[in-house]
Structure 1
Amino acid sequence: MSKIPVTAVFDIGKTNKKFFLFDENLTEVHSSYIRLDAIPDEDDFPSEPLAPLEEWMIKTFRQALKSEEYQIKRLNFSCHGASFVHTDEKGIPATPLYDYLKPFPDELLKKFYEENGGKMNFCRATSSPPLAMLNSGLQLYFIKHEKPEFFERIKHSFHFPQYLSFLFTGEMVSDYTSIGCHTGLWDYEANDYHAWVDREGIRKLLPPIVPGNTLLKTKPELGNIPCGIGVHDSSSALLPYIKQEIEPFALLSTGTWAICINPFNKTKLTKKELKRDCLQFLSIKGEPIKISRLFIGEEHKYQVEKLYEYFQMPLGTYKKLKFNSTLFEKVKGYTAKRIHFQYLKPKHYGLDQAKENDWSVFAEFNEAYYTFIHELTDLQAAAIKLVTDNAPVDRLFIDGGFNANDIFVEMLQIKLPELKIIPSDFPNGSALGAAMLVSLE
């Protein structure tokens, strides 16, 4: 019996690390996943568990190579952005993979902006809101000036997707989708790295940029299989829609972050948009795409855990809820019962927020959860309008975790009547997009 030819994809999120096999029709035929605990860095701040991740990936891939049912013909990677892997001359990590939530020293950040024409001028030039460690290029500046002993060891700096490709191929490259992901590295007007990259001696650490559909080969011990260079997950999630859709659309790709992407919006960023976490990505071809971001996945996780604890409800309770218009109208009428967000800043969008959460004002779990989602979708609707108002589209696809949240989707539809909101047919869109980049066609 002949084996089924497949494309393998590692889809590495901040929470879930997944492995997929797609057949020649790009239909998912196998998946597995793992969650890994963070590892403290030298400052005792949680960091990406790089060594356990590498071990799991290599082991998983070797097992798949031995499959009696499938034959791997291609391999690629989709991966969360804002993460750098720094290696020594032998390609061995020379620092931890710092978490993008790690604090950035205020004085150092102030010094950086002063050296580069001021905060907002720099942010506009690089299409990167001021996000400290989330501007991943600034992580190199941080290491150079705060941890010089680490910086001396660094010979190569990889964006996370390209490091995973290097792990399997031994080839060092960079790609546009990672460089353009609010890194503070790319000058969008010059269409090249920003001047600070050369001034700080960073460019020599960055591998050459190649097209997003470039194919390398896995190492001989890993099968000499055609292998992609990896792709930033939000950019990857857009690809299936671009291939399928003829008319303009926007995409809300949800997970730890909710990324709203309007590939038809080519307008320049304003300072107001930047302050509301609106930015531009680079496509796989190096073209700018306007997006907005919200940290809603992490916010949802935090608030739901608190709700479960307070109301003594079992895990998974919210997943069983369906949209109820009567309850929605009830919570819409509340003025005093507001939610205090842990990570999000409603004031950036002209919205109010409670000083602290008082769950006792809610009669039961459903009421509290509806109030939370009501306020969360107020924020989400405002973020979506940042990328749709100046370049109107009439359809919004939602993929990722929130596309299955009936309450979230229905509230968003009510608040955005000008858009037809469509839960996605591509629940693993970022993995599928990575597969498409190296597809067997």
Structure 2
Amino acid sequence: MTEVIAVFDIGKTNKKILLFDSNFKVVKQHEEKFPVITDDDGFECDDIDLITSWISKSLEEIVAGDEFDLKGVNFSTYGASLMFLDENGHRLTPVYNYLKEVSASIAEDLFAKYGGKNEFCRKTASPALGLLLNSGIQTLWLKQEKPDVYNKAKSVLHFPQYLSYTLSNEIVSEPTSIGCHTFMWDFDQMKYHQWIADNKIALPEPINNDVVFLADVAGKEVKVGTGIHDSSASLVPYLKASPAKFILVSTGTWCINMNPYNEEPLTASELEQDCLCFLTPNKEQVKSSRLFMGHFHEVWAEKLAKHFDVPGDSFKTVKNDEKLVADLLNKYGDTSVYFPNGKESFDEGLKVVDLSVFANYEEAYTKLMIDLTALCITSINLAVPENDETEILYVSGGFARNPIFIELLKKSFPAKKVLISEIDNSSALGAAMVISDTLSEADVAKLDLGIQE
């Protein structure tokens, strides 16, 4: 039988189980979509009972079969959702949706007591998001809105740790969940922020993600991981297998640039420019910046297609024409056509840009990519410290397939290797890798980062 680690990769839309062998190859994968339910306020949320029942049944099937020898289980999930347990370890609440809006006064009171909004957000490396996305707010919201429930709570777990708890019965915290826009972690002191103790919130001290617990899973002794926040999990394969220090440029609807080698404290200015910090599985800071690049691209690509009367996906066939790029750079210099006053002028650009200045679709789209890449470079540079030791830019996601984007990045970062890296299921892979010691033959050196130069 093949030794495997099972990872449950729980996203908002899709829930997957993946089995990884000792070479970190996926040997089996299954995906489910579960209907959502509503919480006690009528707001949409995940059906936690359905999810945990599916997890149990899936593990029972693996153990009962004769194909795989289950050695470890871990969880990679979205963050920003908390679970409250009573003195008997029973769940008190639904898994509240992190998009749920709560009264702004809760956060404002917190800011007022602890140094003002700018300093509090800087210290916790958390933009004020106005929702339960700042998961620490959920504790204060529950205390204010549902005191009867809150007063019964003896333990508070982030979502990945709750799923782990359903198997291990261990109440733990870990760096990746508490370090990501939660308002809970003081990055200056590298410990829980003072307001947690002042409010007597029952958060366990964080342990590193490579800790495992022996648990009985369907009658078999299996090692269970702590669970890990999916954003941090996607960084793990690079932390384990990259030959040199790097920045990961993860592109999609959001372009998120992650630098695990930037120890500089977050500044108020960086926070205003959409930067934040989170933690690696070893409790080290990751400076991160983000840009709504995929969304900007999608809206403008549709507008260009209509104007030039071409199919909506015509951008997929536009090649990197070096002469055209050079001509456009000579003509416009650093002036952006599509974003006349930076990324904040996206809506303004949609109204004022005169597309008739371009001879054809290829020219208009190439200039769009020049302008978008310039915004992205500014965003990447926010994650680069003064004494930069990174040697590689890994580019993953949708824009890794855009030749104009990749060539412009190479020109802008001549001292770094710009490498396209396509890793399927990177969050699930990271969750498997942090507990890879559960497999007797696991070898990080065998990991394929999917590199294309």
- Contact residue 59 and residue 218 of structure 2 kept, 8 A: no
What is aligned with 2:125? 127
What is aligned with 1:343? none
Q: Which moved more, 1:288-297 or 1:274-283?
A: 288-297
What is aligned with 1:162? 161
The answer for unaligned runs of 5 or more in structure 2 is 443-453
State the distance in 1 between where 2:398 and 2:60 align: 29
Please list the CA deviations of residues 307-339 of structure 1 after superposition, one character each: whole Å capped at 9, or x if unmatched.
999999999x47954544388789988999748
- Contact residue 75 and residue 227 of structure 2 kept, 8 A: yes
- TM-superposed deviation, 1:295: 5.0
Give 1:383's match in structure 2, choosing from 379, 382, 399: 379
What is aligned with 2:447? none
User: Are 2:238 and 1:241 equivalent residues in the alignment?
Assistant: yes
User: Are 2:147 and 1:148 equivalent residues in the alignment?
Assistant: yes
Give 2:270's match in structure 1, choosing from 267, 270, 273: 273
- TM-superposed deviation, 1:180: 1.2
State the distance in 2 between where 1:404 and 1:259 align: 16
State the distance in 2 between where 1:375 and 1:183 align: 33
What is aligned with 2:175? 176
What is aligned with 1:434? 431
User: Are 2:122 and 1:136 equivalent residues in the alignment?
Assistant: no
- TM-superposed deviation, 1:422: 1.4
Give 1:101's match in structure 2, choosing from 99, 102, 113: 99
- Contact residue 113 and residue 119 of structure 1 kept, 8 A: yes
Change (3 A) 1:152 1:328: farther
Q: Which moved more, 1:209-218 or 1:416-425?
A: 416-425
Please list the CA deviations of residues 81-139 of structure 1 after superposition, one character each: whole Å capped at 9, or x if unmatched.
22222333444443332333332322332222111110111122222222233221122
State the distance in 2 between where 1:110 and 1:250 align: 34
What is aligned with 1:9? 7
- TM-superposed deviation, 1:147: 3.4
State the distance in 2 between where 1:7 and 1:257 align: 30
Please list the CA deviations of residues 235-282 of structure 1 after superposition, one character each: whole Å capped at 9, or x if unmatched.
222222222223221112345654322122111211101112222222
- TM-superposed deviation, 1:401: 5.0
What is aligned with 1:285? 282
Change (3 A) 1:104 1:308: farther
- Contact residue 343 and residue 375 of structure 2 kept, 8 A: no
User: Are 2:350 and 1:353 equivalent residues in the alignment?
Assistant: no
- TM-superposed deviation, 1:400: 4.3
- TM-superposed deviation, 1:53: 2.7
Change (3 A) 1:144 1:126: same
What is aligned with 2:59? 61
Partner amino acid for 1:424? S
Please list the CA deviations of residues 369-396 of structure 1 after superposition, one character each: whole Å capped at 9, or x if unmatched.
7777665544432221111252433321
Please list the CA deviations of residues 396-416 of structure 1 after superposition, one character each: whole Å capped at 9, or x if unmatched.
112345544556545554555
Residues 312-351 of structure 1 aligned to structure 2 (within 5 Å): 317=313, 321=317, 323-325=319-321, 338=338, 351=344
Matched residue SS, 2:345? coil
**Larger Cα Rg: Structure 1 or Structure 2?**
2
- TM-superposed deviation, 1:63: 2.6
User: Are 2:195 and 1:199 equivalent residues in the alignment?
Assistant: no
- Contact residue 359 and residue 368 of structure 1 kept, 8 A: no
Give 1:18's match in structure 2, choosing from 16, 28, 33: 16
Length-normalised TM-score, structure 2: 0.80
The aligned length equals: 429
The answer for unaligned runs of 5 or more in structure 1 is 340-345
State the distance in 1 between where 2:306 and 2:149 align: 42
- Contact residue 399 and residue 427 of structure 1 kept, 8 A: no
- TM-superposed deviation, 1:141: 1.6
- TM-superposed deviation, 1:52: 3.2
- % identical equivalent positions: 38
State the distance in 2 between where 1:60 and 1:331 align: 55
- TM-superposed deviation, 1:70: 1.9
Matched residue SS, 1:397? strand
Matched residue SS, 1:68? coil
State the distance in 1 between where 2:68 and 2:248 align: 32
Length-normalised TM-score, structure 1: 0.82
State the distance in 1 between where 2:215 and 2:379 align: 40
Partner amino acid for 2:396? D
Matched residue SS, 1:189? coil
State the distance in 2 between where 1:267 and 1:260 align: 15
Please list the CA deviations of residues 6-34 of structure 1 after superposition, one character each: whole Å capped at 9, or x if unmatched.
11112223333222111112222222223
Matched residue SS, 1:62? helix
What is aligned with 1:216? 213
- Contact residue 46 and residue 99 of structure 1 kept, 8 A: yes
Matched residue SS, 1:165? helix
What is aligned with 1:342? none
State the distance in 1 between where 2:28 and 2:80 align: 28
Matched residue SS, 2:218? helix
State the distance in 2 between where 1:207 and 1:368 align: 54
C-alpha RMSD of matched pairs (Å): 3.7
